[in-house]
Amino acid sequence: MPIDKIVVQRLGDELAPQLVADRRDLHRHPELGWTEVRTASIVARRLLDAGWQVALGRQVHADESRMGVPDAAELTASYRRALQQGADPELAPALADGFTGVVGTLLLGEGPTVGVRVDMDALPIHEAATEDHRPHREGFASINPGVMHACGHDAHTAVGLALAQALPQLRDQLQGTIKLIFQPAEEGVRGARSMVDAGVVDDLDHVVGFHFSTGWTRSEMIAGNGGWAATRKFDVRFVGRSAHAGGSPQQGHNALLAAAIATQGLYAIPRHSEGATRVNVGRLVAGTGRNIIPPEAEMMIETRGATEELSEYMFRRALAVIEGAALTQGCTWTVREMGGAQSAWSDAALAERVRQAAERLGPMTIYEPEPRGGSEDFTYMMRRVQARGGLATSISLGADPLGIGRNDPDRKRVLGGHTPFHDLDEEALPLAVRLLLMLVGDLLGS
């Protein structure tokens, strides 16, 4: 039996002020992937205070499956900053060294197990400091230089905290188990795999992810996303030998030239007839001086494919190109995995339950998913649950702060994600809470 709509509406109204306060606090204190000590410690404390069982840190991560973890110096500096900015001193130590995931479990008797995934990390972006940017104008812009919540994860975490507060109040109407999965390092698709490999989602019958989107109003949504590209993110380092570029160039092994040859070769990889494939060199750094043969070069690369097989095809061809480029210049090379994601589609049956929950709350425009070539590491959780016989869905929720809809002809004004001016409609937050409460009530209704 679904939860009473009036109860859900009341909870959304009651939680709205706290939702905004939490979102703004998190927006002021953004933390990059694997450094979310302040954020995660606040989440864990709030879960404990609300009566949830809590697992965190190394309890919810497979160490060897973490990707793109910052170096020790950055982890130490970010940990100290988190304590200075209000991290829970009792819980923070368990989140140190890049183990920043948190899982809350609420046991409500026999029944299915439902998981809701929430991402927490920010982006390496300098936030705009102009009067037309509302977070700056209203005093909740980032206080951490070069780090910004520019993709809505501050709002996602605020919604997760609201669910943690609301769901125990509905325990008499629910039968089963709820897990709130607060995941670090979504940006760069780095964090989900380690939680999956730690078994976090192995007991789930249903898993749900959600994401706010600008360019859609809060009355627009997708109930079941799909069609993400599988991807591999990796860094390559060439090591050669320096020499005087004019006096003895034959004694050098040019790492910069190896990287340049690799770059050209990567873009020349034949595309595949069975689906879309992509490759990109996002960064190439090399050299020490004008008259010195460059002894080292570093590249940041990604490959993608419409399926895991196509992604693997691109990755293997890329490695062959890189090896060949190194051989031409007598260089050695190493590769470091920095992120990855699978391809996935939401289950139609669970997406339909989302649609029904939304329609019970009020008029909504619900669009069908459209594959766009992007990637999402929630796919690891989706695919694991699906492989074990469960259902998964990913929801997109409109939250444009200027009220711009998906079919609005004036799309140039949209404050897109991953930009210094990103913001969102805070009135969408209680709507998301209501939707997720209604959905969980539908799945676990006693």
The answer to whether 43 and 100 are in contact (CB under 8 A) is: no
Per-residue model confidence (pLDDT) at position 77 = 98
pLDDT of residue 188: 94
Measured CA to CA, the distance from residue 348 to residue 411 in angstroms comes to 30
**Same topology for domains 5-228+342-444 and 231-340, yes or no?**
no
Q: Which fold has domain 5-228+342-444?
A: Aminopeptidase (3.40.630)
Q: Which CATH number fits domain 231-340: 3.10.310.30, 3.30.70.360, 1.10.340.30, 3.40.309.10?
A: 3.30.70.360
Whole-angstrom CA distances from 240 to 236, 254, 287, 295 are 13, 6, 11, 5
Q: What is the mean pLDDT of each run of 10 residues along the chain (446 residues)?
A: 85 97 98 98 98 98 97 98 98 98 97 98 98 97 98 98 97 96 97 98 98 96 96 98 96 98 98 95 96 98 96 98 98 97 96 96 91 89 98 98 92 92 97 97 88
Domain-by-domain residue ranges, the chain? 5-228+342-444, 231-340
| Greatest Cα pair distance in the chain | 83
Residue 10's contacts (CB-CB under 8 Å, 6 or more residues apart) are none
- Amino acid residing at 8: V
Q: Supply the DSSP string of 362-424, one letter for each residue.
A: S--EEEPP---S---THHHHHHHHHHTT-EEEEEEEE--TT---TT-S-GGG---TTSTT---
